[in-house]
Structure 1
Amino acid sequence: MKDDEFRPELGRIRSRGSKAGKRYAGQVRAAINRAGGRPARGARFMGSRTGRGGAAAALLRSRDRHAAFRQRRVIVKARIVRLAGKGLDGARAHLRYIQRDGVTREGEPGKLYGAEQDRMDGREFLDRADGDRHQFRFIVAPEDGIQYDDLRPLTRRLMAQMEEDLGTKLDWVAVDHFNTGHPHTHIIVRGKNDRSENLVIAREYVSSGIRERAAELVSLDLGPRTDREIEQHLRQEMEQERFTSIDRQLLRTRDDDGVVSPSGRDTFRQTLHQGRLRKLERMGLAEETGSGRWRLNDDLEITLRRMGERGDIIKTMHRELTGKGLTRSAADCVIHDRSSEPAQSVVGRVVARGLANELDDRHYLIVDGVDGRSHYIDIGNGDATEPTPDGCIVRVTPRSTEPRHVDRIVAEIAGTNDGRYSIDIHLKHDPSATERFAETHVRRLEAIRRATTGVEREPDGTWIIAPDHLERVADYERQRTRVEPVTVDRLSSLPLEQQVDFDGATWIDRELASGSPEPLRDAGFGREVRQAQGRRQQWLVAQGFARREQDRLVYRNDMLRALHWRELNRVASQLSKELGLAYAEPRPGEIVEGTLRRSVELASGKHAIIEKSREFTLVPWRSVLDRHIGKEVSGVVRREGISWTIGRQRSGPSVS
């Protein structure tokens, strides 16, 4: 066209009204970055480099790619944990768990060490961290970690290099784990620098800098990867059913239409990519569109990562079941993870408990179910579930995200009282309700208030309930489900074999006397339970708790109660000798008061020891009592349980 036909439209390229201008500005910035240029003064703020280590991370990223390709690979997982509120309790639990039994090569507890000492006291470390805003947790796993007899020298050199990069001394402890196929190190770093100021590490250094430093050190120890090692590793990746470095390269080479055309001068790379694409095609994750062009599934990375996780879980189940001498087919192994929670309760024997995610403290249970199948269940945060020793009988139930009945009652009462709720309002609204019943609604509101901003409490104790209260409660339950996806109820601490001739009420007895016992499959643990029930029935007949009438067994009406009192009196007699106090049996309607000393485990469940000056009593345990050991308590014995009051005053806060 002619020059005079060109009509420019005035306006700033980066003006908000010009989408084309935004795209053009982005293309210019991308071209500058590809050319190795630096943005001019006034360029966009890069938050990833805020904090210590940003310059070191940038330097590591700019190094020679060929040298980096030959470096030994190291996986580093990082997490920043806030210590406010219950964070320090979680830090104590995490420290205990990484030092658990069976993590060394010899199967012994993990040994905590530091920069100069081979034995560190975890309590002293946490005492120093009291008042810290946060702490850093790292897992460092060299791909060739199996070649190290001892990971401590590597860890100390890495931490010394980090101190140099960050420009400050670090207060840290570590534990080495050799209980998996990949030896790794757990490192905990205080969130304070050497001036007792909050330690802020650049996000880029955390995400990539530490990994690059660790890879440098491992490469110095073992030498760079040879061509043969690299090719062998890539050939192994070609057939793996997980997300691999080859998949990452293929995703990077996709064009705007999402199509890959593997080509190039490197014959090995081309063959590798073609082989991987054929594997993905068989898995339904890639499709050849003709002439060497392939379209990758949009969810390729997510699907492959999930498949990799499931593969790791299956290996874990096989290892734990085999270690306990149990043989289960692949068809009888069920995986319940966060994306697929159990649709119904699972009852069975605990085979193992472990960390599904060692950094986030997410635990799993492997339960050998009465349905004849073995179940892998993600139970969420470890401190949310009480200890579950191997062999105990449990029921695992998925947590509901629906509002409870008490929530609907609160919403109903508030709806007719201008959005307000209190115990007095409740009793006026429903004269048949008791004050104790209304208190359960207040405790529910208090729990929601502590965790969310869904409800408000006024100084006079009145609660302000929003019109969308039930929707807010559902959000609260969904938040809880992410932390505690299931509830784990311990049905019996006694292993199955010990229950057959135990002189007390057992889980087998409760199942036999129940009108709706758990359905048992004639396979796996279900078959073992059936056999144990048969032997237990013979014992009950011999002890006079059951009799045979024609083709059926009739149990005494008071069988469970009589067996329970047998065990309770036996344990009480033993405790009486140990404590030097007389045992006082609690009766309905009586007030139980004294010092909560500790708990004791019975076959019928956990009981609390309440001690007075001359006597003690045993009452059923409640989980809310865990944090009140050593305190004065009082409570009224009722048929459905005990209404507790913590402290000496009778009018104090109660826990039912």
Structure 2
Amino acid sequence: MQDEDFRPKLGKIGSRGSKAGKRFVGQVRAAINRAGGRPKRGASFTGSRVGRGGAAAALLKSRDRYAAFRRRRVIVKARVVKLAGKAADGARAHLRYLQRDGVTREGEPGELYGAESDGVDGKAFVDRADGDRHQFRFIVAPEDGIEYDDLKPLTRRLMAQMEEDLGTKLDWVAVDHFNTGHPHTHVIIRGKDDRGENLVIAREYISSGLRERAAELVSLDLGPRTDREIEQRLRQEMEQECFTSIDRQLLRMRDDDKLVSPDSRNAFRQTVQQGRLRKLERMGLAEEAGSDRWRLNDQLEATLRRLGERGDIIKTMHRELTSKGIARSAADYIVYDAGQNAEPVVGRVVARGLADEIQDRHYLIVDGLDGKSHYIDIGKGEATEPTPDGSIVRVTPRNTEPRRVDRTIADIAAANGGRYNVDIHLRQDPSATERFAETHVRRLEAIRRAAGGLERQPDGTWTIDPDHLDRVAEYERDRAKAEPVLVDKLSSLPLEKQVSFDGATWIDQELGSDAPETLRKSGFGRDVHEAQARRRQWLIAQGLAHEEQDRIVYRANLISILRQRELNRVAGRLSSELGLSYFEAKPGDRLEGTLRRSVELSGGKYAVIEKSREFTLVPWRPVLDRHVGKEVSGVVQREGISWRVGRQRSGLSVS
């Protein structure tokens, strides 16, 4: 037959009478549903499958439940981090922190690795990610991770499987941590696919798909869980004071009356559930409602999770204190709650670490003057400057109420038609200075940058709404979530070094204080009491104090003398390094020069301001962090320095 003689019979696929067509259409629709391209009838669109990996997540979710029950369990925590603004600096700090000391089995710093090699350059990864919209952070923790001598092969296989599921090559780095009872891996993935486009991963794959893939691989390595292992795990869970798989199952078993009955179809499970219910009853989280039916507390899960977190915190405190050779009883362990504790904590930093490695929330363990050891959530890592172990700090809860400056702005705006600027402020309050009014403008700028909702006119006038104070309170509450406490570093010198240090120390401040911190004769309070006695003897030997009628009399200008000694010593060292002469800045002096760097003195940080032939040292302000290397100017006043960046008087004020 000639080619041109071929006449196809055109028709509609799936038309009446075409069984093959119906089968084809059914197959297409099923494939679309599996890929997440079309929701099932009656289901609402949630967006959970939008992005790469939706089809793989749906397939994994639909697999045999019995096989899933046998698989090894893996915990996967995930977070998508936006990299705009300061978040990029936070991402760099997070990467550095993951490589901190003491995270390997040998107590060595963590080593970054990638798909092809160990010892990956973290800076190169950060440079490649410059300009990325976001990044993905994962923590992969196999329940049986302790069985692995090395987690790298598992991680590489998991990432290769993830690339297959997502249909793209991934740019990632990872580091393994063995510093807890549960070995785990941190994985950071760039937010770009292999074509340079923004990488979007389906929510279902992030929430469950990756966990299922990891469980598959661990089960292949170690074999599926045996009946013996499963039963042993459940027996352990019966008495645990945390949220367990038994609790999760009991919550699912509740009937319409919110009552639960142990499973009578399986004797072992019935025994385990009955034992767990008795434990919950002793904890006040369940009560028997008759005929083997139980009522669970509405706050069961939240309460057990809090107890579990507290248990983990106590273990962390015990591990850190023991490693530093500090002996404290469990009764002296305090979990500090910034929302309820109004009293500050003053003490020695024992350790700083990550409380939540995904959310980048840090903690401090502070051995307090009250004789107790405090675990304190300090919030986002970048919110608190470095606090070396042994430094002395004061920790206070963040005040979430509007400040006096906010009330002043609200009052002035209310009297001027909802408008505020420096000129209006000075007309309203003739006793105010321009510098004082500018601090109010900076407060408005800070709130506008962080929370928005404030409008500034081209002429610099601000529009202040009547509910301004309510908005400020909300702004402060949001800040308190990220930064629940304020950490003031009182001294970077460890207590032992302060005893004979030739400079002003925290011990001297306490000795000369009219209201010294309350010392308990136990714990760190006892250590400070002993250090004070030795410091007094050193001061007497230096001629800075003397005994008189069974008491110690200190020189009136003791702190100034000691501070000047250290300042002169540091200035002399810097003069040799820089080849410049040192001059001391005094109140009324105008400073102009280049902000070179900061130096740490016992009383805090100082800024090095360099001119062509000389330099000076002045107290550091946190706002100067962003201006190192720039030209600055300012006038020295007793209450501080109002800095300006740039050579012109119109330069940016950073006071």
In the superposition, the TM-score normalised over structure 1's length comes to: 0.93
For 1:230-629, what aligned pairs fall within 5 Å after superposition?
230-337=230-337, 340-629=339-628
Cα distance change of structure 1 residues 495 and 206 upon mapping to structure 2, 3 Å threshold: same
- CA distance in structure 2 between the partners assigned to 1:269 and 1:287 by the alignment: 19
- CA distance in structure 2 between the partners assigned to 1:234 and 1:419 by the alignment: 64
Q: Helix, strand or coil for the counterpart of 2:196?
A: coil
- Cα offsets for 1:79-114 (capped at 9, x unmatched): 001111222111101111111111111111111111
Residue number in structure 1 paired with 2:85 = 85
Residue number in structure 2 paired with 1:227 = 227
Q: Helix, strand or coil for the counterpart of 2:289?
A: strand
Q: 2:348, 2:391 within 8 Å by CA — same for their partners in 1?
A: yes
Letter in 2 for 1:452: A
Q: Helix, strand or coil for the counterpart of 2:105?
A: coil
- CA distance in structure 1 between the partners assigned to 2:182 and 2:297 by the alignment: 30
Q: Helix, strand or coil for the counterpart of 2:48?
A: helix
Cα distance, 1:551 vs. partner? 3.0
Q: 1:504, 1:564 within 8 Å by CA — same for their partners in 2?
A: yes
Letter in 1 for 2:191: G
Cα distance, 1:341 vs. partner? 4.7
- CA distance in structure 2 between the partners assigned to 1:40 and 1:395 by the alignment: 57
Cα distance, 1:129 vs. partner? 1.4
Q: Helix, strand or coil for the counterpart of 2:476?
A: helix
Cα distance change of structure 1 residues 101 and 647 upon mapping to structure 2, 3 Å threshold: same
How many corresponding residue pairs?
619
Q: Helix, strand or coil for the counterpart of 1:135?
A: strand
- CA distance in structure 2 between the partners assigned to 1:373 and 1:40 by the alignment: 58
Q: 2:39, 2:45 within 8 Å by CA — same for their partners in 1?
A: no
- Cα offsets for 1:305-344 (capped at 9, x unmatched): 0000000000000111111111111221110246x55321
Q: Helix, strand or coil for the counterpart of 1:47?
A: coil
Per mean C-alpha deviation after superposition, the further-off stretch among 44-53 and 62-71 is: 44-53
Q: Helix, strand or coil for the counterpart of 1:403?
A: coil
Residue number in structure 2 paired with 1:112 = 112
Cα distance, 1:264 vs. partner? 2.4
Cα distance, 1:46 vs. partner? 4.1
Letter in 1 for 2:565: R
Name the % identity: 78
- CA distance in structure 1 between the partners assigned to 2:321 and 2:109 by the alignment: 21
Letter in 1 for 2:480: T
Q: Helix, strand or coil for the counterpart of 2:475?
A: helix
Q: Give the unaligned 5+ runs of structure 1.
A: 1-32
Cα distance change of structure 1 residues 176 and 460 upon mapping to structure 2, 3 Å threshold: same
Q: Helix, strand or coil for the counterpart of 2:643?
A: strand
- CA distance in structure 1 between the partners assigned to 2:464 and 2:43 by the alignment: 48
Residue number in structure 1 paired with 2:633 = 634
Cα distance change of structure 1 residues 446 and 538 upon mapping to structure 2, 3 Å threshold: same
Q: Helix, strand or coil for the counterpart of 1:327?
A: coil
- Cα offsets for 1:137-181 (capped at 9, x unmatched): 000000111111111110111011011111111111111111111
- CA distance in structure 2 between the partners assigned to 1:554 and 1:639 by the alignment: 28
Letter in 2 for 1:230: I
- Cα offsets for 1:438-457 (capped at 9, x unmatched): 11111101000101123211
Q: Helix, strand or coil for the counterpart of 2:287?
A: strand
Cα distance, 1:501 vs. partner? 1.1
Q: 2:347, 2:394 within 8 Å by CA — same for their partners in 1?
A: yes
Letter in 2 for 1:154: L
Residue number in structure 2 paired with 1:4 = none
Cα distance, 1:518 vs. partner? 0.7
For 1:119-138, what aligned pairs fall within 5 Å after superposition?
119-138=119-138
Q: Give the unaligned 5+ runs of structure 2.
A: 1-32
- CA distance in structure 1 between the partners assigned to 2:560 and 2:256 by the alignment: 73
Q: 1:243, 1:308 within 8 Å by CA — same for their partners in 2?
A: yes
Does residue 644 of structure 2 align to residue 645 of structure 1? yes
Residue number in structure 1 paired with 2:7 = none
Cα distance change of structure 1 residues 479 and 66 upon mapping to structure 2, 3 Å threshold: same
- CA distance in structure 2 between the partners assigned to 1:584 and 1:102 by the alignment: 43
Letter in 1 for 2:423: D
Does residue 53 of structure 2 align to residue 53 of structure 1? yes
- CA distance in structure 2 between the partners assigned to 1:517 and 1:39 by the alignment: 68
Per mean C-alpha deviation after superposition, the further-off stretch among 40-49 and 312-321 is: 40-49
Cα distance, 1:45 vs. partner? 2.2
Letter in 1 for 2:94: H
Q: Helix, strand or coil for the counterpart of 1:200?
A: coil
Q: 1:454, 1:469 within 8 Å by CA — same for their partners in 2?
A: no
- CA distance in structure 2 between the partners assigned to 1:211 and 1:160 by the alignment: 14
Cα distance change of structure 1 residues 511 and 40 upon mapping to structure 2, 3 Å threshold: closer
The Cα RMSD (Å) is: 1.3
- CA distance in structure 1 between the partners assigned to 2:649 and 2:105 by the alignment: 54
Per mean C-alpha deviation after superposition, the further-off stretch among 536-545 and 436-445 is: 536-545
Q: 1:80, 1:137 within 8 Å by CA — same for their partners in 2?
A: yes
- Runs (4+) of structure 1 exceeding 4 A deviation are 38-43
Residue number in structure 1 paired with 2:5 = none
Q: 2:74, 2:143 within 8 Å by CA — same for their partners in 1?
A: yes
- CA distance in structure 2 between the partners assigned to 1:555 and 1:342 by the alignment: 35
Letter in 2 for 1:380: G
- CA distance in structure 1 between the partners assigned to 2:139 and 2:43 by the alignment: 35
Letter in 2 for 1:498: K
Per mean C-alpha deviation after superposition, the further-off stretch among 397-406 and 262-271 is: 262-271
Letter in 2 for 1:556: R
Q: Helix, strand or coil for the counterpart of 2:309?
A: helix
In the superposition, the TM-score normalised over structure 2's length comes to: 0.93
